Structure 1
Amino acid sequence: MTVIEQHPAKPVGGAVKPPTGQPVLPMGWLDALRGVAALLVAVHHFGLIHLLPYGGTINRKFDLGISAVMLFFLVSGYIVPASLERRGDVRGFWIGRIYPLLIVVITVALLVLPRAHSAVPDVVLDHPLRSSLANVLLLHEMLNGPSALGAMWTLCAGPPRLGSLVLGGLGAVLLFLNARSTFFESMTILATMFAGTAVHRIERGQLDRLQGLLCCGFVLVSGVLAGVLYDHGDAFCRTWTSGWEGFSLPYAAAWATFGLGMLLRDRRFPRVPTWLGAISYSVYVVHIPVLHAVDRLIPQDAFPHHGPGRFVPALIFLAAVLLLSDLTHRLVELLGQRLGRRLLKTLDTRSAPGPTPRPRSGG
């Protein structure tokens, strides 16, 4: 790839500010896409699609979770560099954005839900020290270990964390030889995420357009072919699909959805999808404990299995997820971001070199 030369501003506190004079790209379409992706993951985990006519067939041919996750990685690959350029510090992204919500939700889930309906897997509870360390470092999937919450497996592929590990060599070994997911799925996720970054760089004028588009096209075709060529046999139980169509078709759909969002990026998006995007991280983390709580509180025979009544548990689940996600976004995420900025400011102040002492005059 040919990267167009940039002249960054003077570093401040170890960070590099983005070049001045460049237009601020609209983010409403990204909010809508990540909100849709998070909600689809929740819907997929609840099994709502099985309540629809021909839902089983649809799920076998089109795995909704794969489509949502791949869309999530495309959006993340695009938006994380933009966010880091805007904030200028990768530490703030993890300290203020990622960890506070995870810590609060996992702690509350452990305190509220009984062991039989726990959102935290038994294997994590049986080996708390080892599992806690792996999950805190976000290395659990690479170490072939369980996630403290089911949705945390995608955080192992976050651009700052994974990029540093791969550059160090250790991450590559763990990801490709010891990860719970298949090799082709891991490679597809990585390529998809960095393709999103390439799109961002193209829009910013930091990457040659033709070469960038060719690389993105290669990633799209390779992702579709990966399912056709490799998602067979034992791979099904590791990709959680039931056929190669369940991987390839939703992967292509994720790209199509991302492309549609880009075509509409200059339009004003309604408040609901942008609000959903704002709480998307909370939706992604909160929905697993809510799913276990609904499973505990609503007996199997509480509602009919046929007719409109079969959708009532799903509606209760979605309403609870959206309500709690809005609360955790306001009370945990935003607070965590403010505290994270204060903590980083304190650390930077303490680590900053003091004034150079003046030499004493002779005599």
Structure 2
Amino acid sequence: MTVHQSQRLQTLDGLRAVSITLVFMSHIGFGHLFPGGLGVTIFFFISGFIITKLMLAEWDASGRVSIRNFYVRRLFRLTPALLVFVLISLTLMAVVGEHPPWEEVASVFFYFANYYGIYSSFSGELIKQPLAITWSLAVEEHFYFVFPVLFMAFVSLPKRFLSLIAAILLAMLAWRIYLVLAIGLDHLPHYRIYTATDTRADSILYGVALSLVFARYPDFAQQLSRTRIFFLGVFLLVLTLAIRSEEFRESLRYSIQGLALFCMFPTLVYGKNRVSSFLQWPPVVYLGRISYSLYLYHWLVTHSVAHFLPELGTLASIALISLLSLVLSHLSYRYIEQTFQNLGRKLMV
């Protein structure tokens, strides 16, 4: 790996750090200042971008992509840390006398937690619904059940691949608009649009599209790296945060945010500027690397502190939540994520 490639990967870790910071700050009580939903959307975009980048690199190097290795990587990347998180969550819930039904636990490991949360309800009143945080993992896994097949079918036909992606993006936008305008938000289950795969997976697909553009259309990618394109993306992103209409937020917002990130990522990831330098700062990069475990644990820690230490002051509570979340995430990343990812690499040899 070249130094330049390493810097690009560090920048993506830095963007993950931005994402988890938005989610974390939103969930500890600052949702009016930090858009946690945007943090999740950025996570989705990064995931699509990186997965496609890696698969394209494998295809270009060998003329094939190992679907087996693809799923082995996903399994060893996600499942061990998730298993430990669920065991800790269930233990804490048992301590306070709460026992989730088996189908709730199954929804986490079989990746239908998002639809379970929409059409049922996660357990946890004393420690608020710790397993509900796994909804976004379900969205990603649903996408990656299908994506390798599409990739193998269209990787040698980049124009058709991008045309297909554009058609899916438009179809998902039309589906959200139909749900909002024809069905009505008052007649939909809470969080139906926000957490369902059929209405949110396009955030991943925008990242896929950008990765394809950079790999197959370098001249167009160069145009996207212009400063004015970056600021167009900034404008679109701010617009999605400024418009507070629920009808807009549940229909157009995710598509406009996808376009905004499509415009901003080239400068952030491939450019040389102060923002990119900040994203490559080692503490920020490390925060991005532990972001998966931090995403899992911060919600559990937040509501465990609220239950077990209800008299703790606001500042002390925030400090304790931050410390415990970071410590648990570091331990999870160091001793679970890295250990099993290394094991997965050995199995792929």
Distance (Å, rounded) in 1 between the aligned partners of 2:257 and 2:236: 13
The one-letter code matched in structure 2 to 1:38 is I
How much has 1:134 moved relative to structure 2? 2.7
Match of 2:154 in 1: none
Q: Deviations over 1:264-291 (max 9, x none)?
A: 4875821101111111111111212211
Distance (Å, rounded) in 2 between the aligned partners of 1:165 and 1:248: 21
Q: Deviations over 1:198-249 (max 9, x none)?
A: 2122222358838x96xx999x9799789969824xx99xx7xxxx999899
Q: 2:335 aligns with which of 331, 335, 341?
A: 331
Query: Equivalent residues in 2 for 1:21-100 (5 A)?
Result: 24=5, 26-47=8-29, 49=30, 59=32, 64-84=35-55, 89-100=69-80
Count of residues in Structure 1 that have an aligned counterpart in Structure 2: 284
The answer to whether residue 312 in structure 2 is matched with residue 302 in structure 1 is: yes
Match of 2:159 in 1: none
Match of 1:161 in 2: 142
Q: SS at 2:86's partner residue?
A: helix
8 Å CA contact 1:105, 1:285 repeated in 2: yes
Match of 1:205 in 2: 216
Indicate the larger mover: 326-335 or 183-192: 183-192
The one-letter code matched in structure 2 to 1:64 is P
8 Å CA contact 2:193, 2:199 repeated in 1: no
- Change over 3 Å in CA distance of 1:206–1:40 after alignment to 2: same
Q: Deviations over 1:72-93 (max 9, x none)?
A: 1121121122344567521122
Q: Deviations over 1:108-142 (max 9, x none)?
A: 22224445486xxx6xx1x21x2333321212323
The answer to whether residue 291 in structure 2 is matched with residue 280 in structure 1 is: yes
Q: 2:303 aligns with which of 274, 289, 292?
A: 292
- Change over 3 Å in CA distance of 1:152–1:184 after alignment to 2: closer
Q: RMSD value over aligned CA atoms?
A: 4.6
Match of 1:311 in 2: 315
**Structure 1: segments with no counterpart, 5+ residues:** 1-19, 51-58, 304-309, 346-363
How much has 1:340 moved relative to structure 2? 2.7
Distance (Å, rounded) in 2 between the aligned partners of 1:184 and 1:302: 32
Q: 1:192 aligns with which of 200, 203, 212?
A: 203
The one-letter code matched in structure 2 to 1:94 is R
How much has 1:295 moved relative to structure 2? 1.4
Q: SS at 1:138's partner residue?
A: coil
- Change over 3 Å in CA distance of 1:208–1:140 after alignment to 2: farther
Match of 1:138 in 2: 111
Distance (Å, rounded) in 2 between the aligned partners of 1:142 and 1:207: 39
Distance (Å, rounded) in 2 between the aligned partners of 1:185 and 1:274: 30
- TM-score if structure 1 supplies the norm length? 0.62
The one-letter code matched in structure 1 to 2:24 is A
Match of 1:357 in 2: none
Query: Equivalent residues in 2 for 1:109-120 (5 A)?
Result: 109-114=89-94, 116=96
- Change over 3 Å in CA distance of 1:117–1:162 after alignment to 2: farther
8 Å CA contact 1:100, 1:336 repeated in 2: yes
Distance (Å, rounded) in 1 between the aligned partners of 2:329 and 2:296: 9
The one-letter code matched in structure 2 to 1:109 is S
Distance (Å, rounded) in 1 between the aligned partners of 2:266 and 2:206: 12
Distance (Å, rounded) in 2 between the aligned partners of 1:199 and 1:246: 19
- Change over 3 Å in CA distance of 1:252–1:199 after alignment to 2: closer
How much has 1:194 moved relative to structure 2? 1.2
How much has 1:43 moved relative to structure 2? 1.7
- Greater helix share, structure number: 2
Match of 2:62 in 1: none
**Structure 2: segments with no counterpart, 5+ residues:** 59-65, 123-129, 151-170, 180-187, 225-229
